[in-house]
Amino acid sequence: MEKAINATDGASGTTKANVPIMETRGLVKRFGSFIANDGLNLTIRKGEIHAILGENGAGKSTLMNMLSGLLAPDEGEIYYNGSQVSFTSPRSAMEIGIGMVHQHFMLVPALTVAENVVLGIKQRSPWFRLSAACAEIERLSASFGLDVDPRKRVADLSVGQQQRVEIMKTLYRGADFIIMDEPTAVLTPPEVQDLFRVLRALREQGKTIVFISHKLQEVKAICDRVTVLRLGKHIASMPMEGTSPSELARLMVGRDIQPPAVRQPPGDGAKLLETANLSAWHGGIQVIRDVTFDLREGEILGIAGVDGNGQRELCEALMGLGTKHAGSITVRGRSIEQPSPIAMIASGVGYIPEDRHREGLMLPMSIGENLIAKQYRQSPFSRYRMLSRRAIRDAAMRAVQAFDIRTPAVDHPAGKLSGGNQQKVVLARELMLRPDILLAMQPTRGMDVGAAEYVHRRLLEERERGCGILLISTELEEILALSDRVAVMYKGRMLDIIDRRHADAEQIGLRMAGL
C-alpha cells in the first residue's frame, strides 16, 4: 500500500482562489467492525470542481454522505468555510449551502417533479403555489438545458430524466457546495456535455462541486483537482493537470488497466434471436415501434441510445414481462408465440436487468440463494425438489472466487454488498447458465473501471464461446468498445444497424439525439 500523499500539496491548478471551503480531519466511519472511511484528511477549495475517485466500495459515497449530513462520522471533524460544523440532518447541511445529488435517486416516484423539488422547503404561505414553483423550475430547466417537465409524475420518467430532477433539486435550493455522486452514470454523451456546461456555469458563479465518477475521461475533462481513495483510505490529492487517466486508474486500483483485447470479427454464425416488427404498448402508449433485428451466434449487438427510448421495454417485450406486444420473436428459428420468462429462460436466454434492486436480486437472501435463482430446479442445487445447501454454498464460493465479489462472508445477504458487487452477483448468475443469448442492460452501471473491465472481459469471453449478446447501454464508449454491430434506439424505434467498423462516435451521438 502506497504512502498517502499529503492532502494539501501545493499546486493550485486551475482554481481561481486557493481558499479551502471544506476540510475534513481524521474522518472515520465504521459499519460494525468494518471501516468504510479510515481517517480521511481532505481539503476542497472554493470554486473548484473536485473529483473523488476510487474503486467500488472505496468509501466515496460514505464520505459524501457524511459531508451532506446523511451519516454522522464516528470520529474526526468537518470544517466548512473555516468553522467546525456537525450536521444533525441533511437539512442542517443544506441550510449552510451543502447539497447532494445522490447516486441512488432520492425521489418520491408517486409525486410530480415539482412536488419533489419543493418538498421540504420552508414555505411562507400555509399552502403552496405550485404554479410558481413550476415556473421557476421551467426557468432553471431552460437555463441549464435540463429539460424536465415539472408537472410529470416522477414514476413516469426515465432514469436519465430522474437524474436531472435530482440535479434540479439542488439547483432549486441554491446550494453553494454541490456533491454529485456519479451523476453521469446514466447520461448520454450529449447529456454529459450539457451537464458539464451546467457545471462550468456553476463554477463561474463561484460554486464548489464535488464530482464522483468512474469515467476517468470525464473527470479529466471537467475537474480541477482530484482525490483518490482506496479501501477507505486517502491515497492522493493532486491537481488534474499533469495527470493521465491511466495514472489515476493505477492509483485507484493499484494495478494497470488493460483495454479490451483486439478480437476477430464474428463468423457468419447461425441466427439466434430475430424479431420482426416488434411493437409494444405500456398503459396504452406505444413504447416500441416496429423493431426488427437479428442477433447471431458469437456476436455482440450494441444498442446505444438515451435512456428512456424504449430499451427497457424492448427487453421486457423479449422476456415476456408484461407489456402488450405485437410482431414476432424467433429464437433459433423457433417462433415464440407467447414469450414469458420461463419460456425464454428455457430457450437459453439470459437477462441482466437494468435495475438490480428492483428486478435482479432478492436483497435479503444470501449470495448463494440469489445465484441459483434460475437453476434451482436442477441438480446439483436440488434433488427431488429439495434444495442442497452444500451445493448452493459451493456455487456461491465459486462465484465469489471467479467474479471477485467482495464480501465479508459467502453467506452474506446480497443487500449488504456494495452496488458493484451486487451487479457481479447478477452477472455470475446469468453466466452460470451458459446462455446462448444474453440480454445485457447496463451491465456495468455504477461499476468502477476495474470491475467494469472485468465485466467486459467476461462478456467477450461469452462471445467467444458463441453466445449472442444484446448489449444495451447508454454509454457510447462501452458500446463501441464491445460491439460487433451497433444500433441506436430513439423514441421506440431501432435506427439502422451498422457494422462497428463503419461506426463513428460522433454520428451515433447525433442519432441518439434524434438528428
Partner 1 sequence: MVNKEASAKAVAWTVEALFFALTIALALLAGALIMAAAGVSPWQAYQLIWQGAAGSAGSIKETLVKATPLLFTGLSYSFAYRCGLFNIGAEGQLYLGAMTGAMAALLLPPLPMLVHLPLALLCGFIGGALWGGIVGALKVGRGASEIINTIMLNYAAIYLISYVVTSPLKEAGGSLPQSAALPASAILPQLFGSRLHYGFFLAIATAIVLYWLLNRTTWGYEIRSAGLNRRAAEVMGFPVKRNMLLVMMVSGGLAGLGGYVEIAGIQHRLMQNFSPGFGYDGIAVALLGGAHPIGNIGSALLFGGMRSGANAMQRVTGASTSLVYVIQAIMIMMMLCNRYWLGGYKKALVARLTRGLRKTGAAGANARLNLTE
Partner 2 sequence: MGEEMWISYAAAAIRLSVPLLLAALGILFMSRSGILNIGMEGMMLIGSLAGVLGAFYSGSVWMGLATAAIVCSLFGLLFGFLVITTGADQVIIGTAMNLLGLGLTTVFGRSLLGMGTEAVQVSGFPVVRIPLLVDLPWIGPVLFEQNAITYGAFLLIPLAGFLLYRTPWGLQVRSVGENPLAADTLGVKVHRVRYACCSIGGMLAGFAGSALSLGILNQFTENMAAGRGFIALSAVIFGRWTPSGTLVGSLLFGGADALQMRFQSLGIEIPYQFMLMFPYLLTMLALAWFSGKSRQPAATGIPYKSAANRNA
Binding interface with partner 1 (CB under 8 A): 33-34, 319, 321, 340-342, 344-345, 351, 353, 358-365, 369, 373-374, 376-377, 382, 385-387, 389, 400-401, 404-410
Q: Is 61 in the site for Mg ion (CB under 5 A)?
A: yes
Nearer to Mg ion (CB atom), residue 353 or residue 446: 446
Distances (CA, A) of 104 to 13, 183, 205, 316, 408: 31, 10, 27, 22, 23
- Residues 349-378, mask of contacts with partner 2 (x by CB under 8 A): ------------------------------
Query: Which runs of consecutive H residues, i.e. helices, occur in 37-129?
Result: 60-67, 90-95, 113-118
Question: Quick one: which of 126, 259, 284, 333 contacts partner 2 (CB under 8 A)?
Answer: 126
Single-letter residue type at 226: V
Three-state SS at 8: coil
Q: How far is the CB of 316 from partner 2 (least distance, A)?
A: 19
CA 22 to CA 78: how far, in whole Å? 7
**Please, which residue, 192 or 396, has the CB nearer to partner 1?**
396
Residue of closest CB approach to Mg ion: 61
Closer CB to Mg ion, residue 436 or residue 453? 453
Q: Report the distance separating Cα 59 and Cα 448, nearest Å.
A: 12
Nearer to partner 2, 10 or 32 (CB): 32
Q: 402: Cβ–Cβ under 8 A, 6 or more apart, which residues? A: 428
Q: Does 348 bind Mg ion (CB under 5 A)?
A: no
Report the residue closest to ligand ATP, judged by CB.
Answer: 419
- Cβ 210 to Mg ion, closest distance in Å? 12
Contact mark string toward Mg ion, 94..123, x via CB under 5 A: ---------x--------------------
Interacting residues with ligand ATP (CB under 6 A): 31, 34, 36, 54, 56-62, 103-104, 416-420, 446, 448
Nearer to partner 1, 19 or 362 (CB): 362
Which lies closer to ligand ATP via its Cβ, residue 60 or residue 207? 60
Closest by alpha carbon to 209, among 179, 238, 181, 239? 179
Q: Are 399 and 405 in contact (CB under 8 A)?
A: yes
Q: Per rule CB under 8 A, is residue 161 in the interface with partner 2?
A: no
**The only residue of 46, 60, 102, 234 in contact with partner 2, by rule CB under 8 A:** 102
Of residues 164-223, those binding partner 2 (CB under 8 A):
169
Nearest-5° angle of CA 273, CA 265, CA 186?
65
CA distances (Å), origin 53, targets 9, 48, 80, 421, 514: 17, 16, 21, 17, 33
Helix (H) or strand (E) holding 151: none
Cα separation, 350 vs 429, in Å, equals 9
Query: Which amino acid is located at 212 in the chain?
Result: I
Q: Which does 326 bind (CB under 5 to 8 A by kind): partner 1, partner 2, ligand ATP, none?
A: none
Q: Which is nearer to partner 1, 23 or 369 (CB)?
A: 369
Query: Which parts of 10-48 are beta strand (E)?
Result: 20-31, 34-45
Closest to ligand ATP by CB, 273 or 417: 417
Strands 75-80 and 386-387, sheet pairing: unpaired
* Nearest CB to Mg ion, comparing residues 69 and 419: 419
* Residue among 4, 111, 433, 498 that touches partner 2 (CB under 8 A): 111
Instruction: Draw the binding track, 61-90, toward partner 2 (x: CB under 8 A; -: no contact).
Output: ----x--xxxxx--------------xxxx
Contact 336, 329 (CB under 8 A): yes
Q: Is the dihedral of CA 28, 256, 438, 386 positive or negative?
A: negative
- How far is 383 from 377, CA to CA, in rounded Å? 8
Distance CA 352, CA 471 (A): 10
CB of 169 to partner 2, least distance (A): 7
Interface with partner 2 (CB under 8 A): 31-32, 65, 68-72, 87-91, 94-95, 100, 102, 105-111, 115-116, 118-121, 123, 126-128, 169
User: Which residues make up the interface to Mg ion (CB under 5 A)?
Assistant: 61, 103, 419, 446
